[in-house]
Structure 1
Amino acid sequence: MRVKISILYSWLVKVTTFLLPNIPLFMRFRGFLYSLMMKSCGRNFQITSTAVLNSLSGLEVGNNVYIAHHTVVIGIDIRIGDEVIVGPNCIISSGNHTFLNNSYRYGKSLRRPVKIGAGSWIAGNCSVLGGSILPERSILGAGAVLNKKYEEADGLYGGIPAVFIKKMR
């Protein structure tokens, strides 16, 4: 029941703040409103008007997090560390579909946690899937699909599926 209420609340915040300009003051206000239903949220959470957050009750966000335009965050167990930037048009999802009776439509939903390490940057048009870990201070290159757990901090990851490319420091 709490998940359904958080989805309705998320919609209410989106509708009531949609016309506010995307400047830091209003993006922080929008983030504050979302934080009221989140599992936990740090200070200075900024989110644009066109981003979509669903299932707030399972979302944990650190300090100084920014989520850009048209990004969708959907899932029950998602942790975003401090000082993370999520670029435009990204998908962060902790759920996945399974196959049943020759179709993915009616298969049971498979949920796995997602963790985005502190200081990371997810570039535009990326997908982060259930069970993924992006290590601290890492970059997920534009258009990448992260579907694994990585441990190498300060790394550049990219591709479909995302692979470790090089050490950044």
Structure 2
Amino acid sequence: MNIAYWTGYLLYRTIGIHLPKSYAKINLGGRSIRAFCARLMLAKVGKHINIEKGARFSASTEIGDYSGIGENSRLYGKVVLGDYVMMGRECFIYTYNHETSRTDIPMQRQGSTPQRPVKIGNDVWLGSRVTILPGVTIGDGAIVGASSVVTKDVPPYAVACGNPARVVKYRNKPRDELDQ
């Protein structure tokens, strides 16, 4: 972590995270300031990104062109957002979990599992309060419905929803093809 990262981090955590939403009538440049901070903090940041108020993300997050992180969302570990990703409010993306494999010691003392990155393709829409678990890939053009819990990969152009999320249709196929 270099001086640019720490400058961006301090600016983001003290000012940027608290500025009004990007589309507020009086936004005080929040969108621009948060994007500036992200460029200092992250290795890959596309053009015209939007990080909303209260969003938190790790230094290993990657954001593609025209993509955004929703208001009060949390991205833990290596999360790769493709281009044109829309994210609703309060989405949670995890790349590691608690270790639970041993029964001879408390789970609290077992540490965490190895990180498994989450990859989100291009032109994806994550509804509000979506939770994505470690190692999941969301294909290009997919939609994940609000409050869904994604435990396994979502194919390209699928519409998935529920807990656990399951594919209910495909955007690029007639509805009757799903049942076959």
Flag whether TM exceeds 0.5 (same fold). Answer: yes
Q: Give 2:145's aligned residue.
A: 141
Counterpart pick for 1:34 among 23, 35, 38: 38
SS at match of 1:149: coil
Structure 1 match to 2:168: 165
User: Do residues 10 (structure 1) and 13 (structure 2) align?
Assistant: no
Q: How far apart are the structure 1 equivalents of 2:62 and 2:18?
A: 26
User: Number of residues paired by the alignment?
Assistant: 163
Letter in 2 for 1:67: I
CA shift at 1:16, angstroms? 1.7
1:47 aligns with 2:47: no
Distance verdict in 2 for CA 1:136–1:161, change over 3 Å: same
TM-score, normalisation: structure 2: 0.80
Task: Give the aligned partner of residue 175 of structure 2.
Answer: none
CA RMSD after TM alignment: 2.3
* Residue 109 of structure 2: aligned partner: 106
Query: Which residue of structure 2 lines up, in the alignment, with residue 155 of structure 1?
Result: 158
In 1, the alpha carbon distance for the partners of 2:128 and 2:108 equals 28
* Structure 2, unpaired ranges of 5+: 24-28, 173-180
**Residues in 2 aligned to 1:11 and 1:132: alpha-carbon distance in whole angstroms:** 30
> Which runs of 5 or more structure 1 residues have no equivalent in the other structure?
none
What is the CA-CA distance between 1:17 and the residue it aligns to? 2.0
The letter of the residue matching 1:156 is V
Greater strand share, structure number: 1
**1-side partners of 2:107 and 2:6: how far apart?**
23
| CA pair 40-18 structure 1, distance change in 2 beyond 3 A | closer
The alpha-carbon deviation at position 135 of structure 1 amounts to: 0.6
* Compared CA separation, residues 8 and 73, structure 1 to 2 (3 A): farther
Distance 1:13 1:165, change over 3 A: same
Shift of 1:114: 0.3
1:128 to 123, 126, 132: 132
Shift of the 49–167 alpha-carbon distance from structure 1 to 2, 3 Å rule, reads: same
Whole-Å separation in 2 of the counterparts to 1:70 and 1:164 = 26
- Identify the residue that residue 88 of structure 1 maps to in structure 2: 89
Structure 1 outlier segments of 4+, above 6 Å: none
Indicate if the aligned counterparts of 2:123 and 2:142 stay in contact, CA closer than 8 A: yes
